[in-house]
Amino acid sequence: MEEQGGRRRRLVLVPYPLQGHITPTLQLGTILHSRGFSITIAHSHFNSPDTSNHPDFVFLPLSDDSLSKYNHSDDIVAFISNLNLSCKVPLQELLIEMIEKQEKCEELPCIIYDPIMYSAEAVARHLKLPSIMLRTTSVTFALSFYVYPKIQKEGYTPFQDSKSLELVPEFHPFRFKDLTVFNLKSVDDFLQFVTTITNLQTSGMIWNSIDCLEQSSLAQLRQKSQVPFFLIGPMHKLFPFPSSSLLEEDRSCISWLDKQTENSVLYVSFGSMATVEEKEVAEMTWGLANSKQPFLWVIRPGSVLVSESVDLLLDDFKESVGERGCIVKWAPQKEVLAHSAVGGFWTHCGWNSTLESVSEGVPMICRPFSADQKLNGRYVSHVWRVGVELENGFERREIERAIKLLMEEKEGEEIRQRAAELKQELQLSIQKGGSSYNSLNELVELIMSV
């Protein structure tokens, strides 16, 4: 991308401290730094990013001592609420100090916040600082936030973990079973959270998405929100970014991939949060073994629940598959998906993973778990048609069938062809004159004007 000199205005980026949100926030920081802005990352102690990879940024930790009592996998809304509560005052104090130290002629800092860190918007408003929202999920997920209060009013409850195949009114092609599932203690708290997020004030919304990917959702959301949108994705393709992984990447899998033939390997990874049970791991091992396909499998520490004998199970499995399989704790995923040996991705459909796969033209087997993943999975399999869905979760025969379909059969070949075409569209969007390219220039103009 072409450089364009921005004034050295300071941008304070406030990420939500989970891997899938930290990565795009740091990527945006790098992109805007290259446009001449100074970057500060105001982050919680919890999941603090690795500062060494970003020597040009200033990192300001916000005290979040009271957070240790809350676990995001038990009750996400309580976790978010307490995170916002504990970070609000420290953020305000940091910003006041920053403004006081500033030269008279300098522009006020601009806050770029993840909407889940909604207290940052309140602080910006209180200090009369400009603020812009960074949405790290899909446009469709944001649109779904307008759907929840409506379907509840119309009596469609409970919508949590619904198995219903009925289409959600005015939200096609999604079914009730595709709606978000969170671990929640209270649906009312969730609806309150949804209302908070949809009513935040902002001078604009930045999206890690692309015009051509979500046209229908985009048109609908534009009717509901009057602020300018900047779709500048896929951000990870704009620069050779340094790693923003919270876990150490095991690069040995790249040497293993180097030895495999083109498009032969199935990459298996469920992101940074999803957990599986031991019996599901057992089904996965059977499905992978019977498919006879080479695979690279990420088993993140702590991702297998109730794992009394999983080590034994995996040791036996590794012995039986030998060199055909490679198992690591955490992979350099973007590099893996860009590797010519990788021909398929069995994914949980986190938004970053979905974008990373689509950007490389890698077709997917979708096994979404929670949050926005079911919506993303539905897009992959039914709108873009670049993947297949595992409808029954983890069942060895279905897994084997899906792998064979994607990696060996004619239907898989057609899916791969569509994935290659979508990859090309995305490549065009970031080139000069493309939609993401233009949007980024418009964003830089907005930041300089607010």
Q: Which residues bind ligand UDP (CB under 6 A)?
A: 18-20, 23, 245, 269, 271-273, 298, 330-331, 333-334, 350-353, 356
Please state, in angstroms and rounded to a whole number, the distance separating the CA atoms of residues 237 and 347: 20
Tell me whether residue 339 is exposed, middle or buried, using C-beta atoms within 10 angstroms of its C-beta: 0 to 12, 13 to 18, 19 or more: buried
Alpha helices (runs of H) in 183-242, residue ranges in sequence order: 187-198, 215-224
Pick from 212, 181, 144: nearest CA to 348? 181
Q: Which two tokens stand for residue 309?
A: 């004998």
Min separation Cβ 409 and ligand UDP, Å: 27
Cβ proximity to ligand UDP, 107 vs 277, nearer residue: 277
Min separation Cβ 436 and ligand UDP, Å: 18
Q: Would you say 262 and 345 are in contact if contact means Cβ atoms under 8 Å apart?
A: no
In single-letter form, the type of residue at position 191 comes to L
Cβ proximity to ligand UDP, 98 vs 232, nearer residue: 232
Min separation Cβ 406 and ligand UDP, Å: 19
Pick from 78, 96, 106, 79: nearest CA to 42? 96
Q: What are phi and psi of 306, to 5 degrees?
A: 45, 60
Cβ proximity to ligand UDP, 130 vs 234, nearer residue: 234
In single-letter form, the type of residue at position 334 comes to K
> Residue 307's Cα: distance from chain center in Å?
27
3-class state of residue 345 by DSSP: strand
Cβ proximity to ligand UDP, 272 vs 291, nearer residue: 272
Please state, in angstroms and rounded to a whole number, the distance separating the CA atoms of residues 317 and 296: 13
Per 3-state DSSP, the chain is made up of helix, strand and coil in percentages (nearest 5) of 45, 15, 40
Please state, in angstroms and rounded to a whole number, the distance separating the CA atoms of residues 272 and 277: 16
Cβ proximity to ligand UDP, 26 vs 98, nearer residue: 26
Min separation Cβ 215 and ligand UDP, Å: 22
Cβ proximity to ligand UDP, 253 vs 415, nearer residue: 253
State the CB neighbour count (10 A cutoff) for residue 280: 16
Min separation Cβ 39 and ligand UDP, Å: 20
Min separation Cβ 367 and ligand UDP, Å: 12
Min separation Cβ 209 and ligand UDP, Å: 12
Min separation Cβ 272 and ligand UDP, Å: 3
Cβ proximity to ligand UDP, 343 vs 368, nearer residue: 368
Min separation Cβ 197 and ligand UDP, Å: 17
3-class state of residue 56 by DSSP: coil
Please state, in angstroms and rounded to a whole number, the distance separating the CA atoms of residues 142 and 223: 13
Cβ proximity to ligand UDP, 18 vs 310, nearer residue: 18
Cβ proximity to ligand UDP, 57 vs 141, nearer residue: 141
Please state, in angstroms and rounded to a whole number, the distance separating the CA atoms of residues 306 and 347: 22
Cβ proximity to ligand UDP, 20 vs 29, nearer residue: 20
User: Nearest 5 degrees, angle CA 146-CA 150-CA 152?
Assistant: 125
- Separation in Å, CA 368 to CA 177, 205, 243, 348: 11, 26, 25, 4
Min separation Cβ 442 and ligand UDP, Å: 25
Contacting residues for 383 by C-beta, under 8 A, at least 6 apart:
173
